[in-house]
Amino acid sequence: MASTAENNEPGTAEVQPSKRRRKKSIVWEHFTVEPVGAGCTRACCKRCKQTFAYSTGSKVAGTSHLKRHIALGTCPVIRRREEKNQLTPYFPNTKAVTPGSTTDPPKRRYRSSMYSSNISFDQDRCRQEIAEMIIMHEYPLNMVEHPAFVSFVQNLQPRFQMVNFNTVQGDCVAIYLREKQDLVKLLMGLPGRINLTLDLWISNQTLGYIFLTGHFIDNDWKLTKRLLNVVMVPSPHSGDALSHAVGVCIGDWGLETRLFTLTTDKEISNDSEIESLRGYLSIKNPLTISGQLLIGHCYARVLTSVAKDLLSSMSEVVCKVRESVKYVLTSQAHEEKFAELKHRLQVPSAKHLSLDDQSFWNTTYLMLVAATELKEVFSCFDTIDPDYKMAPSVDDWKQVETLCVFLKLLYDAANVLTGTTYPTANLYFQEVWKIQLELTLSAASEDPFISNLTMPLKEKFERYWKDCSLVLATAVVMDPRFKLKLVEFSFSKIYGEEAVNYVKIVDDGIHELFSEYLVLPLMLTAGYVEVSEGENKIDGAQTSPKGTPLLTSGDRLLDFDVFISEMSTSQNSKSELDQYLDESLLPRTQEFDILGWWKLNSMKYPTLSRMARDILAITVSTVGPESVFNTSPRNLDPYRSSLRPETVEALICAKDWLHYASKEQQQQQQQQQPSNAIVKVEF
């Protein structure tokens, strides 16, 4: 008996743990434990019959390697069945269920479970997320009917009831209307006026879409913009297309008396239409100096047009450089030879060759700059590569260098528009007058090549300068670092002895505009505190619920700011504008925050600060930063242009509004960092 007990003891010792472990792990649904010797057992796969180490004496190997055999598909039988889609994949935290089995999965929760019963399903929320996804990423509306997308969603959440084209179109329009209500409240609460820019997109259906964007400075003195309308016009270049779009925008947002300036483009308007708009502005909006603040040229488009003319006039030389760069970059062997020759010649340039995208003129400029610095390598490249026969001549390189000088002037001016945020209007004047001056001097050059190259450019840019110089000069006067002094200096360089006459035009225009602002009621400042609804008032004085005047209330100073302003006006014969112009200039610093300066000095210049708020929000470009250097027309894709005009407007505008709301939310979540901008309060 003793010997029998001794013989059975090892088996008992091993079998018991197996039974215990079988209760804990479902891996034993796929394995059996087989003894292979005294005190040693192995786990055998029920399908492929492979065996794996399980226990040796008192040591137990565990089940991780057994799970990998099943879950990772190393079992050949399971792998073949999975390929035929005849077997449900095995997951370690889920009880295996074979095809046709009615066994319920275990109710026990595991930490690695990929689903949670606590997550509630919301059909309406899912529909809204799909609509916002389509809006933000410009997906086609009918993607919700694509079989692959339907299958994906059904496998992801079988409880979701798929929507069709009409339903998701309605959801997108609903989001547009919801966001529009919020924007209406924002615009109605603005302390200043709104500046409009108009941009034209075309389509393959010969339809036109005019994009109208509002630019303004909000209550916190932050420059911002919102896309307001996308108006479809059947005949984009007809005489009334622009007027129709402006009328729709003004009526839609109630801008009859709140519109300050319009910035359009000669590509979508003619002189008669601009004059018509100028008359409309002067009647409906008195604060436009008889419509003189209407801008008929897009700054970015003017720079692009001048750059294209420059490149076109020297297209043969530019083509030689482009082909040379292409020859080097399209072969690894050529690149290695070029790099070797550059090292041998000890050319110090750190520039790397790049082939241009001819639809963006800045890439052509950067290609020419890099090639010019490596001209010595190109000139000698045929000595180590006899197949290279397209090297530009010495005269060609001189012409390219001259071309790059003028392209750099335009490139630097255009870069002002490529920042993450649009610049305030005071920054444009500095760049524009430099271009006007350089082209004027170059057109009068004694070098026939330079004069012939720049004369047509000067004539084209001069039309823009005459149209916009008053607006740009008015904006730079609002910069306390420059005021009227920069205008006087710049005009003296351009006009010489006649500069005083042009300066007087700007000075008179600013004073006329300021006089128009003076007749308007003074806006409430931040120091004015509104009385809450639960408080009583007797003859304008705040009282307690019993009717006793609260003599110690802070509202006794409600009109103090107005009193000080009136007293200052009576004591000083000079207006706010004259005081501002006579005071010394602030030091010129790149980090200067002009909006912050006007915000802090709005108590000293209550009327002038309102005028500055509207002027600094003027933008002279109708295109976004991504299109500043683009030479090709802007096209609406065929799918969008096939939709109803109302749907196109809803999709495009809603994307702009949702993007800004998301950006604003991110900024609010980020910790406020102290600003290094220099702001000075004047007393």
Which pLDDT value is given to residue 563? 58
**175 Cβ neighbours under 8 A, 6+ residues apart:** 128, 131, 132, 135, 650, 654, 658
CA dist 490 and 222 (Å) reads 29
Which pLDDT value is given to residue 484? 95
Report the interhelical angle of 332-345 vs 315-329 (nearest 10°).
100
pLDDT tens digit sequence for 61-114: 778 788 778 776 677 776 666 555 443 443 444 444 444 444 454 444 444 444
pLDDT tens digit sequence for 487-516: 999 999 999 999 999 999 999 999 989 988
CA dist 532 and 204 (Å) reads 57
Nearest to 231 by CA among 264, 257, 193, 201: 201
pLDDT score of 296 more than 60: yes
- Alpha-carbon distance values, 541 to 385, 494, 563 (Å): 93, 59, 17
Find out whether 67 and 27 touch, Cβ atoms under 8 Å. yes
pLDDT score of 407 more than 80: yes
Average pLDDT over residues 31-45: 83
Phi, psi torsion values for 469, nearest 5 degrees: -60, -35
**186 Cβ neighbours under 8 A, 6+ residues apart:** 218, 226
pLDDT score of 290 more than 60: no
- E strand or H helix that includes residue 64: helix 64-71
Which pLDDT value is given to residue 350? 87
pLDDT score of 537 more than 70: no
Nearest to 441 by CA among 426, 461, 421, 424: 461
8 alpha-carbon distance from chain centroid: 78
Average pLDDT over residues 279-295: 62
- Buried b vs exposed e over 388-407: b needs ≥16 C-beta within 10 Å? bebbbeeebbebbebbbebb
Average pLDDT over residues 284-291: 57
- The SS3 call for residue 202 is strand
CA dist 492 and 118 (Å) reads 75
Sequential DSSP letters for 337-388 = HHHHHHHHHT-----------TTBHHHHHHHHHHHHHTHHHHHHGGGT-TT-
Q: Strands 541-543 and 208-217, how do they pair?
A: unpaired
Which pLDDT value is given to residue 1? 44
C-alpha atoms less than 13 angstroms from C-alpha of 12 in its C-beta half-sphere: 6
C-alpha atoms less than 13 angstroms from C-alpha of 523 in its C-beta half-sphere: 19
Strands (E), 180-239: 194-202, 208-217, 223-233
Fill in the amino acid letter for 336: E
Which pLDDT value is given to residue 482? 95
Which pLDDT value is given to residue 557? 59
pLDDT tens digit sequence for 642-667: 999 999 999 999 999 999 887 766 66
pLDDT tens digit sequence for 234-261: 877 776 788 888 889 988 998 888 888 8
The larger pLDDT score, comparing residue 556 to residue 389, is at 389
Which pLDDT value is given to residue 504? 95
pLDDT score of 125 more than 60: yes
Which pLDDT value is given to residue 32? 87
| Two tokens, residue 251 | 């009526």
pLDDT score of 274 more than 60: yes
| Two tokens, residue 621 | 């470009």
239-253, 268-282, 364-378 — which one is most confidently predicted on average? 364-378
CA dist 38 and 40 (Å) reads 6
Average pLDDT over residues 118-134: 88
pLDDT tens digit sequence for 423-466: 899 999 999 999 999 999 999 999 999 999 999 999 999 989 98
pLDDT score of 580 more than 80: yes
pLDDT tens digit sequence for 8-27: 444 444 444 444 444 457 77
pLDDT confidence bin for 679, thresholds 50/70/90: low
pLDDT confidence bin for 519, thresholds 50/70/90: confident
- Mean pLDDT for the chain overall: 80
Which pLDDT value is given to residue 56? 77
Average pLDDT over residues 262-275: 71
**DSSP state, residue 557:** G
* Minimum mean pLDDT range among 185-199, 310-324, 516-530: 516-530
Which pLDDT value is given to residue 292? 62
pLDDT score of 295 more than 90: no
pLDDT tens digit sequence for 617-631: 998 898 888 889 998
Q: Strands 259-263 and 194-202, how do they pair?
A: parallel
Nearest to 458 by CA among 444, 448, 473, 472: 444
Report the interhelical angle of 271-284 vs 241-253 (nearest 10°).
20
- Buried b vs exposed e over 438-464: b needs ≥16 C-beta within 10 Å? bbbebbeeeeeebeebbeebbeebeeb
Average pLDDT over residues 306-328: 95
Q: What percent of the chain has pLDDT over 90?
A: 49
